[in-house]
């Protein structure tokens, strides 16, 4: 059913609710118009039923109608907003706090490690939030199994209690962002998390840094505040 534009006050003399005090511009202004279905348009514009549809009633109808559709528009925008844009990355500069937390002096002020972590942060910032959670949980299980960067797909499927299809979807997303994948490792399918340059599992680094400092992984995973790697606030 197609809609029609109705006038609160008629555009021309002789129409329903015509107000001679309004000039032509005012009668054709947006404030004097609203959208209705065809049958209701004809009823509203019927001079014989003008008393049933006074101007104030139509203004109230217009307000409620537009509010309802504005609410639907806002809900649509909220639903389909890219949540990865919620935070702006803050990059490390010295890695002083990370060096202290991991007890690895070599990474302090190391240009290669700073560049490698910066590259990782850029990838992480584009990664969907749900997959960030999956990756950090996968890293925790990898660390529990000796810090290996790969785990059998069957093990992950059972441990996370997810379907193979769901696991594949998460690993496909990681691969798309160049952060991990599913790989055939000597005849066995494994879930992998990639190391950053020049070396080290960046997700395990997040876990170990947070355990050593008492910070929350969410500050790094979701707030992207990697300045914490320089100094603790």
Q: Which pLDDT tens digit goes with each residue over 207-230?
A: 999 999 999 999 999 999 999 999
73 and 89: one domain?
A: no
Domain count, the chain: 2
> Looking at the whole model, is its pTM more than 0.85?
no
Q: Is the CB of residue 17 less than 8 Å from the CB of residue 8?
A: yes
Residue 173 structural domain: 85-229
- Mean pLDDT, range 74-95, rounded to an integer: 83
213 and 133: one domain?
A: yes
Q: Which of 25, 48, 77 is the last residue of a domain?
A: 77
Query: Which candidate, 59, 193, 72, places its Cα nearest to that of 124?
Result: 193
Q: Which pLDDT tens digit goes with each residue over 32-75?
A: 887 777 677 778 878 888 888 888 888 888 888 777 777 776 67
53 and 109: one domain?
A: no
Q: Which of 77, 111, 135 is the last residue of a domain?
A: 77
126 and 216: one domain?
A: yes
118 and 223: one domain?
A: yes
CATH of the domain at 133: 1.10.10.10
pLDDT of residue 1: 45
71 and 94: one domain?
A: no
- Mean pLDDT, range 96-119, rounded to an integer: 98
220 and 186: one domain?
A: yes
Q: Tell me the H-state helices in the chain.
A: 24-27, 38-44, 55-79, 96-102, 111-126, 129-144, 153-160, 164-176, 202-213, 217-221
101 and 66: one domain?
A: no
Q: Which pLDDT tens digit goes with each residue over 129-168?
A: 999 999 999 999 999 998 888 999 999 999 999 999 999 9
14 and 72: one domain?
A: yes
pLDDT of residue 75: 72
């Amino acid at each position: 059913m197609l809609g029609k534009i109705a006038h609160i006050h008629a555009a021309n003399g002789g129409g329903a609710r015509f107000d001679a005090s309004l000039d032509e511009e005012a009668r054709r202004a947006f404030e004097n118009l609203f959208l209705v279905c065809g049958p209701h348009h004809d009823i509203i514009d019927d001079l014989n039923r003008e008393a049933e549809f006074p101007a104030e009633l139509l203004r109230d109808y217009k307000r409620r109608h537009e509010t309802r559709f504005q609410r639907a528009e806002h809900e649509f925008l909220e639903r389909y907003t890219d949540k990865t844009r919620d935070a702006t990355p803050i990059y490390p500069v010295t890695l002083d706090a990370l060096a202290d937390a991991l007890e690895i002096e070599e990474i302090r002020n190391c240009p290669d490690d700073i560049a490698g972590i910066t590259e990782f942060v850029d990838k992480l910032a584009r990664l969907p939030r749900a997959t960030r959670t999956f990756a950090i949980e996968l890293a925790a299980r990898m660390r529990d199994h000796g810090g290996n960067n790969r785990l059998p797909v069957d093990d992950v499927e059972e441990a996370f209690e997810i379907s193979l299809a769901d696991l594949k979807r998460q690993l496909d997303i990681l691969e798309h962002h160049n952060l991990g994948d599913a790989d055939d490792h000597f005849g066995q399918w494994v879930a992998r998390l990639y190391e950053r340059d020049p070396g080290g599992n960046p997700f395990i680094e997040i876990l170990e840094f947070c355990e050593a400092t008492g910070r929350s992984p969410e500050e790094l995973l979701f707030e992207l505040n990697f300045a914490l790697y320089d100094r603790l606030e």
